[in-house]
């Protein structure tokens, strides 16, 4: 297999859409992450199902990996859960670091499509898993019309605007 080129220019339109995607992920992740009951992190839905704390820790690893990919390197770390609140903070900090890099004038070390189809798409799946596990745990999050949400490129941290249109 031929080596992958080390520099991938990114258009302004790609940059804006990818940053909006990161902001969307941050906004959607807020639902299952915020206000989770203290013992939710270690909830065992089944013997072959990851616990929520393991999923969250993996999501943190995904965005550490994404930043390395954006810089043109291949590094993966499989970390153990540190605790729900610490990993929530780590997740949002990793998203913000990636967003800051994408917002810069740097070219990418991997195509933006690779960043999306790998770590970002995986994390979106995991947000859905956490929502489902919250419901199974007996602490469901309210549904929302995300098309009407106040999501803005560059807002990839833990501080997110309130929901506009929620439903049960």
The CA distance from 16 to 102, in Å, is 9
Residue 3's pLDDT band (cuts 50, 70, 90) = low
Q: Which of 64, 55, 60 is nearest to 98 (CA)?
A: 64
Q: Which of 90, 139, 118, 88 is nearest to 18 (CA)?
A: 118
Average of per-residue pLDDT values in the chain: 95
DSSP classification of residue 138: T
| Per-residue pLDDT, 168 | 73
Which structure tokens are listed for 110?
Answer: 């991997």
Position of tokens 């499989």?
78
Structural domain spans, the chain: 12-167
Span 12-167: which CATH code? Answer: 1.20.120.450
- Render pLDDT for 41-55 as a digit per residue (tens, 0 to 9): 999 999 999 999 999
- Render pLDDT for 85-106 as a digit per residue (tens, 0 to 9): 999 999 999 999 999 999 998 8
Alpha helices (runs of H) in the chain, residue ranges in sequence order: 12-33, 52-70, 84-103, 112-115, 121-137
Overall average pLDDT of the 111-125 stretch: 97
Residue 7's pLDDT band (cuts 50, 70, 90) = confident
Q: Which of 88, 94, 81 is nearest to 43 (CA)?
A: 81
């Amino acid at each position: 297999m031929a080596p992958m080129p080390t520099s991938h220019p990114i258009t302004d339109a790609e940059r804006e859409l990818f940053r909006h995607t990161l902001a969307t992920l941050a906004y959607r992740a807020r639902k299952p992450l915020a206000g989770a009951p203290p013992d939710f992190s270690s909830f065992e839905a089944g013997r072959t199902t990851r616990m929520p704390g393991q999923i969250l820790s993996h999501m943190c690893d995904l965005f550490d990996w994404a930043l390395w990919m954006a810089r043109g390197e291949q590094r993966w770390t499989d970390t153990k859960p540190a605790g729900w609140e610490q990993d929530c903070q780590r997740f949002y900090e990793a998203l913000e670091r990636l967003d800051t890099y994408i917002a810069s004038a740097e070219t990418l070390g991997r195509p933006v499509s690779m960043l999306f189809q790998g770590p970002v798409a995986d994390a979106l799946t995991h947000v859905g898993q956490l929502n489902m596990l919250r419901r199974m745990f007996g602490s469901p999050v309210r549904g929302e019309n995300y098309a009407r949400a106040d999501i803005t490129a560059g807002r990839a941290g833990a501080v997110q605007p309130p929901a506009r249109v929620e439903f049960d």
